[in-house]
Each structure stands twice: as structure tokens, then as C-alpha cells.
Structure 1
Amino acid sequence: MDFQSEHLTIPRGKIFFAKYNPGTQVPGAYRELGNCPEFTLTRDSETIQHFSSQAGLKVLDEEINIGATMSGALTTDDIKSENVAYFFMGGVSTIAATAQTDVSETFETVKAGDVYQLGQSDTVPSGVRSVTITTVTDGATTPVALVENTDYEVDLDLGLLTALKDQLKIVVTYDVAASTREQIVAGDTQVEGALKFVSFNALGEQADYTMPRARLSANGDFALVNDPDSTAFQTMPLSLAILKKGNLALAYRDGRAVAA
């Protein structure tokens, strides 16, 4: 008899995801999700029970499986754009901002501490970047120039203007430099593809798991700020639905190949 546990495992591994090509269920190249401190699979079964009630107390005499699902959850501390896009259920794009000159904006009933995003509109929801301030005035009939670092502060890279004093009005004129930046827009489309987990266990048998059809979506909190005393890195949770693809199984577990 086996009185000693001989198959203990200290699990480690890498997760790869291959998005389906648009309009297909054909996966593209696998991309590593990065370091994932947690990755779990969950298997649930739905059963129907039969009880005998011929005499006395009812007795369970049969239980038949009528359905099964597989799901999973992972947490990654690799906060790269691809992973953030999975969490936002959106895509990564590049915004190309064209150069603009003599752009004017007016802000009214300004209070000290108010912060304004230059260029923000429904067309450009996050505003403009890389600005050069031409003038900042009080907007009077005979305008008086306001003084930087006395009446206002400005972050030119972010296009953020902060009022340091109350003003009835502030009129800002600025230029925008041509630039590009990455942007991820939150959507409502869960991404599908093939998922592969390759173990590199610190202890135990090695294996890899392939799931031909998996769907990634957001699953919980994505902390944008931690307590300054916290020793934790930023992490992002994702949920995983394992779906049926044609006649294929939900998942395949392969051991390491050995010479025949």
C-alpha cells in the first residue's frame, strides 16, 4: 500500500492566450499574459437525483449527471496594455493628435483648486496633451493677464490647468503639438480565443493544459491606488469561461513527452 504521498506539487507556470482572428474561431499567435500569482480552474456538475419512496423514508438510489461546466479565475500583476484591454473588455489603439494653434477655452465661476482638462469634449473625452500656453486672462472687456504659479498652474504634458485663486472667468489660449498616445476604451465585448497553461512546477509532475475556446472578462476590483504602506503590487483579476468548440473537449491535459 502507498502510505506516503508521492505526488505532491508546488504549482508554477505560464498562461498564454491566443485571440481568435476577427469573425472566426481560428486562434492567432499565443501571447503570454505575464506573471499570474493565481490561476484556478473550477469544474461544476449539475445532477438530477432519484429517490425511492416505496417504503419508509425516501432513499437516494440514483444520481445522474445532466450537465457540467468549467470556468476559471486568474490574477495577474503584469499590467501591460493587452491585459488592461481584457479587463476593460475593449481594445488597444493609438490616438494620433494633430497640431492645433490658438485654441481658446473659457471657464466661468472658477474656484481655487478647480482643475480643468484642456480640450475635453464629447469628441475627445479625455482632452488634449502636449500643450503650450499662449495666454491666460481674466476674460474682462479689457483682459488682464493672469500669472502662472500665482493665479494658476498648468501641466503642459497632461493639458491640466489648476486655478490657484477664485476668478469670475478664465480664458485660456493654447497650442497643441502633434503627438500620438495609446488609448484603451472600455467596451462590452468579451474576448474569445484559445488558452494554454504550461506548468513549470517547483515540485511535482509537469503538464500543460489547452482549452480550445476560452472567454476572458473582468472579475472584481482593479486597485488604481494602494496605501503608501502597502507592500502589495497592483493586480488585476480576470474570469475565464471555458466553452464548447465544435466536437472538441473543453480542455486537454498533456504530460511532458518522452522518447518512444
Structure 2
Amino acid sequence: MAKKNYISLQGKFYLSEIVNGIAGAMRQLGNVPEFELEISADVIEHKESMTGKRTTDFTMINATSVNFSGQLEEVNPENLQYILSGMTHAVPTKTEADVSLGTVVAGEEIKLDGYNLKTVSFKDSTSGTPKTITDDQYTLDAKFGTVIFNDVANLTMPILASYTTGAVTNTTLASDFEKEYELFFKGINTANGEHVAVTLWRTKKSPETTFPLIHEELGQYEISGQALSDVTKEADPALGLYGHVVTIPVAV
């Protein structure tokens, strides 16, 4: 009986940022529960006009495309930047003094300019000797940098805030669409023990994505994009313009 060549793949995905045409070090994406390639073609069809049946007697591939889609589960800073098509910035600590909060209303929550706040103090704008606002007059969320003033009676507006912020990492939304990556897959066919490698020479992620902010279970983040051709590979047909799939047999 002929051997059954079934396939059931598991494996690891890597991205290598391409700079000046050169792919750099590989970065593993973490657990990827779904990933697929889609090959499409623009086909020109010719209809004959001799039989009266207008049959298709010739086709020509006018253009091809290779697209990818998948899901990421690990959201480290690099993956977050990739998912959001953003740019990551390290925001250093800073000290603010006497920042005006304007006219404050008791019970309203106000956002200060920073996170992980330390040495926080508030005072009013009384001429000569401003009144220091005591701890029992406000509720501070130092982690997120917000404050609710519980009692503003007899205070002269505006309220002034002084504080020191903590260092954080800031990832922007939809601000970097031009980065290209080489994609590499180290896979194992669990149906027969063979290994499979997939390389896409040049990929560019689509900015379109969904980023859930509330989860009942672990978050999964959809990604999609396009493989671009690498015309420098044209001289060797085994390389493929978009990339290739390598079947690695079980070692004997």
C-alpha cells in the first residue's frame, strides 16, 4: 500500500526586519495558533468565436499575489508595535511643578500627564500663601496618573499640581506602514515526523487589524499582509520570487 502523505503542522514563526535590502536577526513571534498563506492570480481568459458556444480556449496568468493572515498571542513590546503598525518610544521620567489643572469640580476625575506618579502634591491659587490640599481632600491613582478631588470648598482656582512621573514605554497607533520583514517558519509535520520550513523573502503587514481591549480568556490578535516579490531571486528558480516551502525528510 502506498504511503499516505498527510500533513498536520505545528511550529515557530520568526520575523527579520529588512533594512537597506538586508534581513537582520530573526525574532520569534511566540505562540501562533493560526497562520495561512493565500495565493491569488489575475487570469485573462480568451473566448473563441468559431463554434457559437463561446468556449474558453486559452488562459494567461496576468499577475499573481501571495497574502498571509494569522493570529498572535504574545504581546511583548515588539509584537505590540507590529500588531498596531506603530512606533515604540521610551518615555523617561520627568518632574512637573505647579501645573494648572484649571477649575476643578469635586467628584470629577482628572488625568495628569504621566504614570507611576511619585511625590505628588496639590495647592490652590490663593494670593500670597496658597493653601496646600491635604490627602483627605483627594483620591489619587498614582499608577494611572488620575485624581479625584473630594472637597474643593474654600479653594481658589485653578488647582496646581506637582509630581514626578515614572518611565514608561509608549506605542503609537497606525503610524508606521513601511517596514518590511522576511518571514521564516520552522515547522514539524506531526503526521509523519518530517520538518517543513517556509520562507517569504519580503512581507509587509496590512495596517488593518482588530485590537480587543476586554478579554474573558487570553487575547488573540489578528494580523494580515502581503508577500512582495524579490526580483533578485529571479536567476535561481528554486528560490521563488515570493519565497518557498522546504520539505526536510526524517534523518536516516
* Interval containing the TM-score (normalised by the shorter chain): 0.7 to 0.9
Cα separation, partners in 2 of 1:203 and 1:65, compared to 1, 3 Å: same
Deviation at 1:161, TM superposition (A): 1.1
Counterpart in 2 of 1:91?
87
Corresponding residue number in structure 2 for 1:174: 162
Seen in structure 2, the aligned counterparts of structure 1 residues 51 and 182 have a Cα distance that, compared at 3 Å, is same
What is the deviation of 1:111?
Answer: 5.2
1:224 aligned onto 2:213: yes
Deviation at 1:96, TM superposition (A): 1.6
| TM-score, structure 1 as length reference | 0.80
Contact 2:12/2:31 (8 A) holds in 1: yes
Cα separation, 2, equivalents of 1:20 and 1:115: 45
Please tell me the residue identity of whatever aligns with 1:28. Answer: G
1:244 and 2:229 aligned: yes
Conservation of the 8 A alpha-carbon contact between 1:13 and 1:200 = yes
Q: TM-score, normalised by structure 2?
A: 0.83
Structure 1: runs of 5 or more not aligned: 120-126
Q: Any conservation in 2 of the 1:131–1:157 contact (CA below 8 Å)? A: no
Partner of 2:199: 210
Deviation at 1:9, TM superposition (A): 2.0
Conserved 8 A contact 2:138-2:149: yes
Instruction: Give the match for residue 53 of structure 2.
Output: 57
Deviations 1:217-252 (A, max 9, x none): 3442111112xxx3x311111112100112322011
Taking a change above 3 Å as real, the CA distance of residues 101 and 223 of structure 1, as seen in their structure-2 partners, is: closer
Residue 190 of structure 1, CA deviation: 3.3
- 1:155 counterpart residue number: 141
Task: Give the distance between the partners of 1:111 and 1:221, measured in 2 at CA.
Answer: 37
Look up the equivalent residue of 1:65 and give its one-letter code: I
Partner SS for 1:6 = coil
Match of 1:123 in 2: none
State the one-letter code of the partner of 2:80: V
CA deviation after TM superposition for structure 1 residue 184, in Å: 1.5
Matching residue of 2:44: 48
Between the aligned partners of 1:20 and 1:257, the Cα distance in structure 2 is 30
Q: Tell me how large the CA RMSD over aligned residues is.
A: 2.7
Secondary structure of the residue aligned to 1:107 is: coil
Equivalent residues of 2:106, 2:148 under 8 A apart: no
Q: Percent identity?
A: 19
In structure 2, the CA distance between the partners of 1:135 and 1:257, relative to structure 1 (3 Å rule), is same
Aligned residues: 240
2:122 matched residue in structure 1: 135
Runs of 4+ in structure 1 off by over 6 angstroms are none
Residue 39 (str. 1) matches residue 35 (str. 2): yes
Q: Quick one: which amino acid aligns to residue 88 of structure 2?
A: V
Q: Which amino acid aligns with 1:74?
A: G
